[in-house]
Chain A
Amino acid sequence: MGGGLLENANPLIYERSGERPVTAGEEDEQVPDSIDAREIFDIRRCRARAGSRGPGRGAESPFLHLPHLIRSINDPEHPLTLEELNVVEQVRVQVSHSQRPGERLVWESQKVSDPESTVAVAFTPTIPHCSMATLIGLSIKVKLLRSLPQRFKLDVHITPGTHASEHAVNKQLADKERVAAALENTHLLEVVNQCLSARS
Chain B
Amino acid sequence: MSTYNMVKQEFIKKWITTLHMLDCSVEHPLNVTERKNAIKLSSDIAMAAARSGSTVWSRALISRSGNKTANKPVARRILKKARNRLKNRCLTLRRNGNFTAKSGVRKRTELLKSLVPGGELIKNKDYLIRETLDYIVYLRAQVDVMRTVAAVDSVTGNLTNDNK
A and B found bound together: no
A residues at B contact (CB < 8 Å): none
B residues at A contact (CB < 8 Å): none
